[in-house]
Structures are given as structure tokens and as C-alpha cells.
Structure 1
Amino acid sequence: MISADMEGVTGVTCPADVRPGTEQWQRFRRLFTGDVNACVAGLAAGGAEDVLINEAHNDNRNLVLEELDDRARMLTGYHKPLSMMQGIDSDVDGVVFLGYHTGAGEEGVLAHTYLENSITGVFLDGVRASEGRLNAALAAEYGVPVLLVTGDDLTCEDAAKYAPAARLVAVKESVSRYAAICATPQRTAEQIKSAAEAAMDLAGPVEPDRRPHRIEVEFDAAQLAAACAVIPTVERVDVRRVGFDAASMTDAMKCFKVVTYVASKATEEIYG
């Protein structure tokens, strides 16, 4: 399975590159498709027989289906219960985090966690968490290993902490949130394909990590915490922070999804 985000894709450095409808997005959605195809080719070369791509950026309609490697299937569209990880279950042999990025409050190209600019930090069991760390914990609950992570160099550093066995491909070197030194698509395709093929050595079930979890979310404005605190099980733990406990990572991610949705609707265009 490939969980495919866009901010960490080859060449992407600024919001217009990943915002649906812009001229830049039209260009970079094809680079996105190229990174995914390189990964599919590598996984297939390593022995994968079925590759499900979960299109996991924005409205989940960015990859160019007609240009995808036909050895893969694509899950697209929104309102997916497990969001970026829809499709994960105990029958999956491994997951790739492609085009990932660092988390809210961190350095890195287009760093954020779910919401582009309203969340300043997400903490899983007391540890600052990127989308990658959250999704790796969810995969672990089903006994599914993280095989490969691609993104900028800081994303790879982050991944080395939550998925130390995974292969890593840095397709660009972060200079700031909106700048990076980028390798060419030809070069990154070679690197992704090679790493994906090698990563298949890690495929196969691991011991599931099933346990309760706590997530806390810190916002940039007090009213967002107030809005989210009305959600059952969610408590306001500080003026700009909410938290909740969940019996499993699956339940935690479902609740987190609701928190981010409510926060997005409570954000005013000018004042935030």
C-alpha cells in the first residue's frame, strides 16, 4: 500500500504547487504521478503483486489516473474513515509513505499536520507528531511495517525516528518552508524505484502494537480549542490546546479527524 501525499514530492516547494486548480498544480500533479509510478515499479520489481495507492492530498484528486502504472489500483476521493491510511488492515504486507513532509511547528518544506496553518503542534503520547508518525502508529496497530518514506531531508530525519527500519529517499533538501534544493525527476525516479525494490525485503506482518493512545492538538488561536472542546471525549487542556484519550490508534485517528474538521470550520478567513 502507498499512502501518497504531495508536499514531499519531487520539486514541490510552495503552496501553489499543491493547491488544486493552479497552473503550478497542473504541472506538479504529473511529477506527483511520476514519483508514485517509480514507487510502484520498484515494489513490483521487489515482488509486490498488488499495490493499492491511497491518494491522500487535499481533496484526494491529484494523481493523473490515466498516467498511472497499471500494476496499481488507486483509492481516490474524500470522506475516507481513516483518511490517509484508508485501506490499511492486517492483510497489508507493508506501507509506503510517499511525498510526506514534516509536522506542524517543525522546519521543513510546507511543514504542517493535516491543517496547513491553524495547528502549531500535534502530540502523540507526549511526542510531537508528524502525519508520518501518526500514520506509522496506526499501521503498527495492524502489524504492518513502514517500508519506505520519501520527502525532503528533514522528513527523512523524522521518519528515521518513528520507522527506523524503513528505507528513506530525500528528493530535495529543505532550505526553508518555501524553498528547497531539488533533484531532477529523472534522478528521484531512479532513487525511489531502487529504494522501493529494496524495501520489499521488509514486507510481511510484524507483531501488532495495540494499546491506548493520547493525542493533544495545539492551535494558533484560542477559539479553535474552544470549538473542538465541544466534541465528546475532547477536553480543553490549555487556552490553545485540546486533548483526548482513545482505546486504540484507529479510534484516536478517527477522533483526530473530527478535531481537524471542526477546527477548519471555526477558522475565519482574515483573523484565523
Structure 2
Amino acid sequence: MKFIISVDCEGPACVVGNAGKALSASRDYNFACREATLEANAAARALFDSGAREVWIWDSHGQGLNLCIDQLDKRCKLILGKGFTCRFPGLDNSFSGVVMIGYHAMEGTKNAILAHTYSSESYKNIRVNGQTVGEIALDGAVAGEFDVPVIFVSSDDKGCREALTFMPWLETVVTKQGMGRNCALSKHPHMVQEEIYSGVLKAVNCIHQTKPLKFKSPVQLEIDFKAVSQAVKALVYRRRGWRLVGPRTITKKIESMREWIC
């Protein structure tokens, strides 16, 4: 078995950020990086203990340089940095499953911790075939194009609920209860790491009950931006196939989610 762990930094235990700031500019960014690393490592240990022959860890937050590498299991392979031409770099149908650690709810979710969809400054909504989606479903659908299922998600309570809406077969671990954008009732980090380890073990044991997430093709993608200037700039940058269909909305029909680049 072969797995990839995608690690974000907003969803780990006790991470809430500072109001009006990006997580990278907040007081708990360093803690967020360390806790994301330890939660990812708990997932990796569970995968190896379940018989995985290969585990990749993808630092998918921001510039892709957040994890404390020396605290990760030395058997892991690491995907780092920014500038990849697709989501889930290196993913193909040789993988058995995807584990999402530290993810968060989509933009606009009430009382979700640090909720956004890829860019808190730019994107207001992203829709697939008319349905509003966040990073969990979008990344899950990219993996689904390779027939690779998401088997586990850890997030705050709103993110886990969102994940189960799209992928009800998932094992999830709730790291904290969102009580506002920057406030939470959180489990202790050590407890969350233990729960992730146990949850991933269970997810692998039940992997036969999972299935890839797939949207009906061709996929109609729509992106609502927070400002008119952002929509115009995105139209110029993305070019081929994209159309402006409102002051702040662009759209494109794609044959595969592999074409999606945030």
C-alpha cells in the first residue's frame, strides 16, 4: 500500500490565528507548523503500522515550507515548496488513499476556524456544477480523477462536517469546536495526535468501504472573487477557456479535475 498525506495548517488542535491576519502572520503560526507536523506524523505512523510500504507527506499550506522536517518519521517522502503545475503533485493511480490533516472549512462557513477556500484574500466562492465547494472536496475530486479515495480527514467540527457531506465513508477526527473565526474550544494536542493515529488505523482497515470522489464530467467551474479587479486579473492570467460571466465571476468547462489549479 502507498499513501499521500496532505497537510494544511489551519485545522490542527489549538490553532486559531489572529483576527484580520493570515495565519503566517499570527502569533501561533510557529505552533501551528509544529502541531501540523506532529499530527501528520501520527497519521504516517499509523499508515506504516498498517502495512504501508510508502508514505508521502505533502506540505500543502501556503508556500509549502511549514513543516518541522526533523520531527517526521524518517521513512516518509516529502513534497515541499511552491510552483507545482497541479494539485497533489506526484499523485497517480498507484496510491491506495489520501489522508488530509489540518484541513479547514470553506469560505463563509459560520463559526469555522480560519475558514477560506485557497485564498482568504481573493476567493469568495468556488462552485463545481453549481455546488459550492471548499478545499476538502476540490482536493478530494482531484485525487478521485486517479481513482484514489480520501480515507481520513482531520479538521475543526465544521470542516469534518463538510468533508462527510461529500465523502460519507470517511473516518474523521474533530480537533476543535469552532466558536468564531478566531476562537475555539479545542482538544489538547496530545489527545488529537492519539485520536489521529487510531482514526487512520481504522480508516486503512476499512479502506474497502471507501470510493473516489468524482464530479460529473464535463465539470463547470465557477469562481467568485471578492473584488472586480481580482476577477479581471484572473481572467488575464488563466486565459484559455475562461469567461467573465459577472463583475466578479469567471467560469470554465473542464473535462477533468486534473486541470484545476487554484
Q: TM-score, normalised by structure 1?
A: 0.87
1:93 CA drift (Å): 0.3
Give identity over the alignment, percent. Answer: 28
Q: Report the CA distance between 1:118 and its aligned residue.
A: 2.2
SS in 2 for 1:19: helix
Tell me how far 1:220 sits from its aligned partner: 1.4
Q: Which runs of 5+ in 2 are unaligned?
A: none
Structure number with higher helix proportion: 1
Aligned partner of 2:93 in structure 1 is: 90
Counterpart of 1:228 in structure 2 is 234
Cα distance 1:226–1:208, how it changes in 2: closer, same or farther (>3 A)?
Answer: closer
Residue of structure 1 equivalent to 2:254: 246
Q: What amino acid is the match of 2:39?
A: D
1:25 aligns with 2:29: yes
Shift in Å, 1:17: 8.3
1:123 aligns with 2:131: no
Q: 1-side partners of 2:220 and 2:22: how far apart? A: 34
**Deviations, residues 175-229 of structure 1 (Å, cap 9, x unaligned):** 0111111111110011000000111124479578583211111111112122223
Could you give the per-residue CA deviations for residues 108-161 of structure 1, whole angstroms, max 9, x where no partner exists?
111111112321111111111110110111111111111100010000000001
- 1:58 pairs with 59, 62, 69, which one? 62
What is the deviation of 1:18?
A: 3.3
The aligned residue for residue 41 of structure 1 is 45
C-alpha separation in 1, matches of 2:162 and 2:213: 22
2:217 to 198, 211, 217: 211
CA distance in 1, matches of 2:135, 2:257: 13
Q: Could you tell me whether the CA contact under 8 Å between 2:137 and 2:163 is conserved in 1?
A: yes
The C-alpha deviation readout for 1:17-65, integer Å capped at 9, x for no partner, is 8306x65322221111111111111112222221100110011111011
Figure out how many residues of one structure are paired with residues of the other and give that number.
252
Contact 1:50–1:72 under 8 Å retained in 2: yes
Q: Partner of 1:260 in structure 2?
A: none
Paired AA for residue 242 in structure 1 = I
Contact 1:48/1:200 (<8 A) preserved: no
Give me the whole-angstrom Cα distance separating, in 1, the residues matched to 2:207 and 2:145: 16
CA distance in 2, matches of 1:191, 1:207: 24
Alpha-carbon distance, 1:105 to partner: 2.1
Superposition pairs of residues 153-164 of structure 1, within 5 angstroms: 153-164=157-168
Which residue, 163, 167, 173 being the options, matches 2:177? 173
The equivalent residue for 1:132 is: 136
Letter in 2 for 1:98: I
The aligned amino acid for 2:182 is Y
The question of whether the paired residues in 1 share the 8 Å contact of 2:7 and 2:57 is answered with yes
- Cα contact 1:166–1:199 (8 A) shared by 2: yes
Which of the numbers 177, 187, 191 marks the counterpart of 2:191?
187
Consecutive unaligned residues in structure 1, runs of 5 or more: 258-272
Say if 1:161 and 1:221 are closer, same or farther in 2 by CA, change over 3 A.
same
Q: CA contact under 8 A between 1:145 and 1:202: conserved in structure 2?
A: no
